Amino acid sequence: MVTRLAVLSVPFVVTLLFIGPLPVSAFGSESGDQTFLPPTWAVQHDVACKVPTGKVDDASCDVDAVEQANSDQLHSILHELMNTTYFRLISISLEGKCKYWDKSISEAKCTAQTPVNPFAAAAANIPPPPQEKSQCSLDTGGTKVPAKEEEPELEEKDPYEDVDLDDDDDDEDDDFDDDDEDEDESPNFNPLKYFSRYTKTTDKVDMEISSREQATLELEPCDNASLPDFWLDMCRNIPTNSSDYVNLMLNPERWTGYNGSHVWNAIYHENCFEKMGDLEEMCYEERVLYRLLSGMHASINIHISLNYFPPSKRHNRSDWAPNVQRFMDQYGTRPERIKNLHFAFLVLLRSLRKAAPYLYNYPFSLGDGVEDRRTQRMVQRLLDSHLMTSCGQVFEAFDESLMFREEEGGATTQARLKAQWKGVFHNISTVMDCISCQKCKLHGKIQLLGMGTALKILLLPEQLIAASLTRPELVALFNTLAKFSHAIRSVPILAQQFLQFQRSYRTEILSEQLRSSENSAAPPPPSVSSLPPPSASASFSSSSSFFSPSNTVKVPVDVALDSAMAALAAAGMAGRIPEAEEDVLVDGLLARDEDLLLLARHYAPNSPDRFLRHAARRARTGAIGRGPRSVSAPPAPPAPVVDAVVIGGGLAGLSAALTMLDRGGRVVLLEKQGHLGGNSAWASSGVNAVDVNNTASGDSVDAFTADTVKGAGRGDNPLIPVLTSGSVDALAWLRGRLSEHLSLDLVGQMGGHSFPRTHRPSSGLAGSAMIFAIQKQLEKVLKDGSGRFELMKWTRASKLITEGGAVVGVEYDVYTAKEQTKPQSSGKLMGRNVLIATGGYASDYTEDSLLKEHRPDLLKYATTNNKGTTGDGHKLALAVGAKGVDLDDVQVHPTGFFNPRDPDNKVKTLCAEILRGEGGVLLDSKGHRFANELGTRDYVTGRMIQQEPQTLKFALVMNEATARKAETHIGLYTKKGLITKFETLEELAKWDYWGMFVTEKSLQQALKKYDEDAEKGIDSFGKKFFHNVPYNTNGPFYVGIVTPVIHYCMGGIAIDPEGQVLDKDMQPIPGLHAAGEVIGGLHGQNRLGGNALSECVVFGRKIGLSLPVGGGSEAGTPSISEPAVEAKGGESAGGGARKVTWEEMKKHTTEESCWVVINDKVYDFTNFLDEHPAGAEAILRFGGQDGTEIFEAIHTPEMLEDFTP
């Protein structure tokens, strides 16, 4: 669903002007330090937030198309691109002098006192758009703009008179200068300066550049004056010849305390078009420029609203916080301003599309080879986005050919219009120097430079584009595009935050009104001792109180329905709830479904998010619309529960299953195919692990971690240390527990690794050997008669069963080898935990595949994955609210075998990376080397695409020494006809793969050069490791044709370091775990060879060791062998003192029956779940467990006096 603005309950203080500048400067804004100013409900009214919909004016697509393209693809790429060194460093001059105001006026603008309601005063001084043309004050000749004769009137009340400025603590946010103790009595007293100490406003640009960044910079002048075309000097007045570079990551766009309304007044009002010839008022060109400036203005304002209130210990803010009231005051009733942001975004996208032939292979180079290639690949991915169904329209929505046409006015009128249009842009560029806030000036200039660069690209002939662009202009263009993208994405976020803020005040006042209408004879509030029991949630404030049923305000049905429908509308428009569930809930509310009414009355007014969670859960179970519940029907007998249901029989699932079985657990494993192994059985190179017993290797966990982080390309993440440190135990387990059928006696070095750490058997391929060894151990358990292990082949999991937000089982369908479309039977499995280990989605070419949704550009490639790798586990987890991570990160492996006898087969045999690791050499059709064969997969693939973009076919050549090292692989591939042996170099030169220019002599020269580089220890591609050299030109040689293929999905389901699946709020989903290729976030944008099998064993073992087995032992929860818990009195105790075993406790963990142990006593909280202010989930989390520690951390013992244990 496309993300949209919600229908909100919005108070509006002022009416904003159409087209004119927004209230207060977008370069900085009004001061204040309250995150939200409480609305006065009695004098304000509800207004629907007008959603920008329909066609984007002066463009050929609609708002929905822009937002969908941005959400689906563009925003994530741009966000990542801005983190690269090339695009975060820019040289731009901030030293220009203002030509239109003197310093005193300019600085007065910066430090002007801000009124209590700054919007009213600012709006009062903003002129509306001219209905008739006036003489431009800023003409093309550079006439100075006169200063305003009158400043906006300020209210007499000092907005800071209530601010406590006493330095009575050591709060770091108080920054006082002792020399200014009398400044408040000075006639020049500046309250904003006083306030800036209170909030630590920022003004100066952080000019820090790391030594590495400085070393990679190459200064480029911005001097295009000698080029003849008219539009080449669009950016003339935004000089970029500064010798200093600014790191944009250190200078984020946010509130600085600066009031730049005078600048925007000049930009909008003082720059107009002189009425010329027969052109109509507000001609197309004028509208284009206005919409661009308005879109830029909106973007700046949105970013300031996002980061408005600075960190403050006094206000318990650890980071910058948004000002949602400011955002809504500016845009709540002006959707056309947001649409101008969409328009500006489309113009910049169109400029990228036009410049794509030049930008696609542009060397975004700063000297760091790996970083440069990463940057170029991301740019190429952005430029290729137009191929996506959801993105294609937006790259062509703006038509620059409609500008400056020769119509009735003729060439003379057109020339005058061009000159004036460019002159206005130049004047606006010069006005940027009148911004006295340095950071504000930085962001204003960059975004104007970005728009100027886009206009230059669009208006220049295509043949001049390449010669006209400078590095600063490209950096500004991409950064501006990223800013617009982020602003578009942030609009619904700010709107939703404002909705929650308004609801909180509305509920308080509504409750107050209801309380005041109570009968005067109403009983007094209960004492503390009569309140219900405490929350088990650590996040619930210790100062919060509970409301017993007798003290809870009874919300009228119509109010509850209104609150529920508002929450549902907001969630639907924000895309936080599936359309099908939204339809069910809307119908249920309109029909006044009994269940929904009950939820609405207790949750919707105060806790709309909890209402949505419970309502959606009821909708998913089909409970909505069933009518009244039968409370007298006895509960159905529980289905047998196993310790774990494992979905997927690859290496991850098998490792977890065997580990749990070794601990005495009971496991059921579902495998949708008729055999075990999955893609793991196809992996041949080996498993990466640090061998601590081999001290001579020099390898270490730290080195493994560093290699993996570098390969991932996204910095540290908490999953990488789990993989690398866990590899030590994984290797010991493989060599020990599986030693009966597995021997990992060889070790090699693969691409991206700094040490040999890829372990493999001397006989057989690594993956299949490991699967076979585990399978043999599992067969023993199947035959031992214990019934602890059940293997269900040809069985597909169709749905995860949930209760109270936890996953408690699996629904499944059983197929046969011959019938794979219609299930033969179905059933349910209940498990204390469910492990998803279903692999990736790289073999799913169907219409609803994740591959098509997230990477349709890769559908043209073949795959190395088996037919079962179709993302089943991803879909199961996403359906219950799991968070997807990096789903567009799909790895293309550089070497899949191309079989000339079966060229169209979509499934290719993987050419194991160990062949290159042991010394294989890649040559193109001309017999030339073109890459470091040991580079990362994405690097080698990128070089291939550059070298042979049409055929994408290359030769892998190995000498005799390499072939001996990889004897098993060579034998297998030779039998399959994928590798051919040539006895001499002369025979190799006659191979029909080569182009016409390849001769024995040219091949000899290429291999000789390789040997010479090996002696030096480095070649021109940065290769440092040369195994099994020299290449004896006497032969024999082993060669095969390889081509890039889809190989691995780095993206997947989000998990924490323990393997627990996370929801969209990054909170664990109880009972749900994942391991193997199905998880996302571990490998970043590139997985190192050999890490796939390591991931499977490490995370499979980790989960297998952590899950409770046999009733809860070894998992940190009380085991059945521990002393029983005493329950004294009360219903749950059966009327008298008795012992409650932990086994019995485990039967009471759901909403139907929830028992919690506190101080060795059992409390039945079942009937209190819906009344708990912190929500039922906080108690259910400790259902069947001991909640003493968390209870005592939050509450006093008196809280339990209302309950009988």
Enzyme catalytic residues:
893, 916
Half-sphere exposure of 1 (CA within 13 A, CB side): 18
Alpha-carbon Rg of the chain, whole angstroms? 34
For residue 485, which of 46, 82, 42 has the smallest C-alpha distance? 82
Q: Report angle CA 59, 62, 68 to the nearest 5 degrees.
A: 125
Alpha carbon of 212 to those of 209, 1069, 1164: distances in Å?
8, 42, 62
CA 679 to CA 671: how far, in whole Å? 13
d(CA 528, CA 947): 77
Cross-strand pairs, 807: 802
Cross-strand partners of 793: 671
Taking a C-beta distance cutoff of 8 angstroms, is the pair 350, 288 a contact?
A: no
CA distance 282 to 1012: 69
Q: What is the DSSP string of 92-133?
A: ----PPPSSS-HHHHHHHHHPPPPSSHHHHHHHTPPPPPSS-
For residue 830, give Cα distances in angstroms to 127, 644, 672, 833: 68, 9, 18, 9
CA angle 889, 894, 899 (to 5 degrees): 125
CB atoms within 10 A of CB 22: 27
Shortest CA distance to 757 belongs to which of 710, 693, 680? 693
DSSP 390: T
Please state whether 156 falls in left (phi above 0), alpha (psi between -120 and 50) or beta: alpha
Give the whole-angstrom CA distance, residue 218 versus residue 389. 38
Residues with Cβ within 8 Å of 1152's Cβ and at least 6 positions away in sequence, in order, are 635, 1166
Q: How far apart are CA 852 and CA 844, in angstroms?
A: 8
**The dihedral formed by the CA atoms of 848, 850, 854 and 855, expressed in degrees to the nearest 10:** -90
Which amino acid is it at 440?
C
CA-CA-CA-CA torsion sign (1099, 1105, 1110, 1115): negative
Q: Phi and psi dihedrals of 1109, rounded to 5?
A: -130, 155
Q: Sign of the C-alpha dihedral, residues 1070, 1072, 1073, 1079?
A: negative
Q: Give the number of other Cβ atoms within 10 Å of residue 165's Cβ.
A: 13
DSSP-assigned letter for residue 72: I
Q: How many CB atoms lie within 10 A of CB 1074?
A: 32
Reduce the DSSP state of residue 453 to 3 states and report it.
Answer: helix
Distance in angstroms (rounded) separating the CA atoms of residues 1087 and 1081 = 10
CB 797 within 8 A of CB 876: yes
In angstroms, the CA 352 to CA 364 distance is: 15
User: Where do we find the tokens 């300019």?
Assistant: 106
Bridge partners of residue 174, in order along the sequence: none
Instruction: Specify which residues 510 forms β-bridges with.
Output: none
Cis peptide before 556 (omega within 30 of 0): no
| Helical segments of 984-1079, H only | 985-989, 1000-1016
Q: How far apart are CA 78 and CA 382, in angstroms?
A: 8
- For residues 469-507, one letter each, b for 16 or more C-beta atoms within 10 angstroms of the residue's C-beta and e for the rest, the string is bbbbbbbbbbbbbbbbbbbbbbbbbbbbbbbebbbebbb
